[in-house]
Structure 1
Amino acid sequence: MKIAYICYEVQERYVVGTTGDEDTELLQFLQGKGLDIHREIWTDQTVNWQQYELAILKSPWDYIDKIDAFYSWLQVLESYQIRLLNPAGIVKWNSDKHYLKDIAAAGLPVTPTAFLERGTTVALSPFFDQFNTNRLIVKPCVSGGSKNTFAITRPQVADLQPKIQTLVQTESFLVQPFIPEIETAGEWSLLFFNGKFSHSLLKKPKAGDFKVQHYLGGSIHPQEATAQQITSAVAFVTAFAKDCLYARVDGVMVDGQFLLMELELIEPLLYLFTHPESYQDYFEALVSLM
């Protein structure tokens, strides 16, 4: 079986602050296992996609800036009957953070979220009382890497609301209360391969910031999740990541409960370097789905 290993045009940006290039190291590991697998750039117009039977989404990290082209590319794969991992329907659902509504509707614990729909009038002040918070997080529904993400206090509303109003004319945004535990305790990431738990880690922002991404100054701490945390994360994977090669469940502990921040099913960094068995876990999950 010939497999396309899907990446994006630039390979360096998101590996700053980690050890090595996960895309290359995982690809070489899978090739060393005898798989007929080849790196392809999803936006490369010269690729003959019809030569592939299976495609793995590894790091199409620029899809957020080219979302319509990304959706069209998914349709191209479907037209050629190329099976995608993770499945295309789940990928499209997961590309827009309105998916948090579905998870909350299923009764699972999710960070409280409201939406500023495209083209509507923005009024941020009521959300402080709605969420009983002094700080809001506002970000696009199709987003990644903290692009156009704002942390807003009440005194900042007058200055920032016009800018957000302009942005909402072209895309939808979400509003959430700032979760202080991210600053004090960090954000957990639990990694699953074909529904099976592999490894976990804790991400912490730099002093004075709330962004945990390592390329924005955050730090990565390999750490074993508790049985309770794993059980909580399994519930999200079981309900919303069926037949997925990989799933990363990002959350924070609030009053003893694992509260979901994001369910990453498109292009998450897998932090394979933090766990010696993770490459083998990934390989075994892939073989089981082939």
Structure 2
Amino acid sequence: MTKRIALATSADHAELHAHDLPLVDALRAAGLDPVAEVWTDPSVDWSAYDGVLLRSVWDYHLRYDEFTEWLALVDKGGVPVFNDSGLVRWNGDKRYLLELRERGVAIVPSQIAAGACLREVVGGLDGQQIVIKPTVSATARHTVRGVAGSPELTQAIDELPDIVYLVQPFLPEIQTDGEWSLMFIDGEFTHAVVKRPAAGDYRVQEEYGGHATVTEPSPAILDSAQAALQAAGRTPVYARIDGVVVNGRFLLMELELIEPYLYLPQSPEATHKLATTVATRL
């Protein structure tokens, strides 16, 4: 019998995001029956599927508690999730970066701050250009940048919700050299892009005018990305390693294992490999 796989997506992309459409054909070619299902739809019987592949669940960070409850529901039904639900839970909160640092991975310098501690941490960085972002977030939501101690940043902090944040130095290399994204399927490197922000901005996401260019990484960048992936433990079906090169050293910004844009239209080979990997693991 043909195995059925649910492609978990959000209500905003009920028919999947356009960049995932090539994957549908590749999954069919691999002998699977892929069906897009909205993860928040209570009528979906997830136990009717042989597996669930997380794709366009780009709203998980907006309803994170509900998302983890949904993962538990799928787990209870004995349905495998890709990536593995344990890895997904670990990856959902950016505090995992500090764990990776303890495992020897070079990360962008980061401090954790919650509630009133945010002002205390920022106060200790007076005069420095910094970035503040929630530990559970995506697409630069509730992310602010500015000079610590400035009236502008102080006001921006006052308007932030009372949640847990990462506080990091602003890295001008993102504007001058760009941010790397390296894609891995089943632990193997497939392709990479360099993302650059629009002039005058620092956010590399397309929503803010950023753009990406397919680029071959140097051996040093590739080795650093592979080391970060290996430090996560179990080999994920797919991963995107985001980082920036500072003084010749690749610093990890994020290890994306949940719903990353994998630039599949730019790499038919990676699309095919992802489909065959999922089919093999079912």
Structure 2-normalised TM-score?
Answer: 0.93
Matches within 5 A, 1:237-248: 237-240=229-232, 242-248=234-240
2:84 counterpart of 1:90 = no
2:95 counterpart of 1:102 = no
Q: Which residue of 1 aligns with 2:5?
A: 3
Deviation sequence 1:219-275 (CA, Å, 0-9, x none): 110011112211111111112152311000000111111110110010000001222
- Whole-Å separation in 2 of the counterparts to 1:184 and 1:167: 28
Deviation sequence 1:118-141 (CA, Å, 0-9, x none): 464623231247xxxx31000111
Q: Which residue of 2 aligns with 1:138?
A: 132
2:51 counterpart of 1:81 = no
- Whole-Å separation in 1 of the counterparts to 2:99 and 2:56: 25
Question: How far off is 1:94 after superposition?
Answer: 0.7
1:36 to 30, 33, 37: 33
- Whole-Å separation in 1 of the counterparts to 2:66 and 2:148: 38
2:58 counterpart of 1:65 = no
Deviation sequence 1:99-149 (CA, Å, 0-9, x none): 1110111111000001112464623231247xxxx3100011110001111
Give percent identity, aligned residues only.
Answer: 36
Change (3 A) 1:276 1:53: closer
Question: How far off is 1:155 after superposition?
Answer: 5.7
AA at the equivalent of 2:157? I
Residue 5 of structure 2 contacts residue 49 of structure 2 at CA under 8 Å; is this kept in 1?
yes
Matches within 5 A, 1:94-243: 94-118=91-115, 120=117, 122-123=119-120, 124-128=122-126, 134-154=128-148, 156=150, 158-165=151-158, 167-169=160-162, 171-240=163-232, 242-243=234-235
Question: How far off is 1:168 after superposition?
Answer: 5.0
2:43 counterpart of 1:51 = no
- Whole-Å separation in 2 of the counterparts to 1:220 and 1:208: 16
Change (3 A) 1:119 1:46: farther
- Whole-Å separation in 2 of the counterparts to 1:241 and 1:121: 31
Aligned length: 278
Q: Which runs of 5+ in 1 are unaligned?
A: 16-20
Change (3 A) 1:211 1:224: same
- Whole-Å separation in 2 of the counterparts to 1:115 and 1:2: 41
- Whole-Å separation in 1 of the counterparts to 2:270 and 2:59: 25
Question: How far off is 1:43 after superposition?
Answer: 0.4
- Whole-Å separation in 1 of the counterparts to 2:231 and 2:148: 37
Q: Which one is further off, 1-10 or 25-34?
A: 25-34
User: What RMSD in Å do the two structures reach over aligned CA positions?
Assistant: 1.9
Question: How far off is 1:30 after superposition?
Answer: 1.3
Residue 27 of structure 2 contacts residue 276 of structure 2 at CA under 8 Å; is this kept in 1?
no
Residue 47 of structure 2 contacts residue 77 of structure 2 at CA under 8 Å; is this kept in 1?
yes
Residue 192 of structure 2 contacts residue 217 of structure 2 at CA under 8 Å; is this kept in 1?
yes
Q: Which runs of 5+ in 2 are unaligned?
A: none
- Whole-Å separation in 1 of the counterparts to 2:21 and 2:268: 16
Question: How far off is 1:287 after superposition?
Answer: 2.9
